[in-house]
Amino acid sequence: MQPEPYTRREYVSAFRELAARIAASLKDVAPSALPIQMYVAGGSALHFHTGARVSVDIDATFSRRIALPDRLDVAYQDEDGTARLLYFDRQYNDTLGLMHEDAYADSLPLTLTGIDPQVLDVRILTPLDLAVSKLGRFSDQDQADIAALAVEASSTRRVSNRARRRRSVATWATRPDSAATSPAQRKSSQRMAQGRDALFIARRENAELIDR
């Protein structure tokens, strides 16, 4: 996929600059280890899919452990002249949230001018998997993001089904006869149940667009 016309040109340029710096840092990596896949989630992936809000950070993981360059932040001006900053979040950890086991295999390649995909293969989570990844924290912003992504997903029912497969593991872990019944796990299970409700609400509100 390529950046759509509805994405913000200035944001895409800043994102591309950071990706270029990461790609340049791979010059000494053995050819047999290339390409390195960069899997983008969070607000950056949301923007490429929907053109909605821009994020101040890039949440991404890599197919291999790599040494990131020191300077991974870019200051830029938005279309209206607003000063903005985009940086790579070195603290992002995909194991802290809900992620479908096929999310990376199903991710979409993002074509960026000047980035050789044979060196750095930038990939975006699908709208479906991006929505599922937002069920763990489920903040007000996550709920708004899920509603926006529901328009992009071919069916919110698919999102619900995919999330349910991950939720079933947590449900088993919090059964009375299971040893895994900590307050944190029970809270996680409750949040995922709330996520299911949000997906149904998103489907209802966007029914005309989703069910065509």
pLDDT tens, N- to C-terminus, the chain (212 residues): 999 999 999 999 999 999 999 999 999 999 999 999 999 999 999 999 999 889 999 999 999 999 999 999 999 999 899 999 999 999 999 988 888 889 999 999 999 999 999 999 999 999 889 988 888 888 888 888 988 888 765 434 555 555 555 544 443 333 444 444 566 566 555 545 554 555 555 555 544 444 44
User: Which residue in the block uniquely carries the two structure tokens 């999310």?
Assistant: 103
Kindly give the residue spans of alpha helices, DSSP state H, lying in the chain.
9-24, 42-50, 127-133, 140-152, 156-173, 183-205, 207-210
Residue 8 CA to residue 11 CA, distance in Å, equals 5
Tokens of 91: 């603290």
Chain mean position to CA 96: 13
pTM: 0.75
Report CA torsion sign: 12, 13, 14, 17: positive
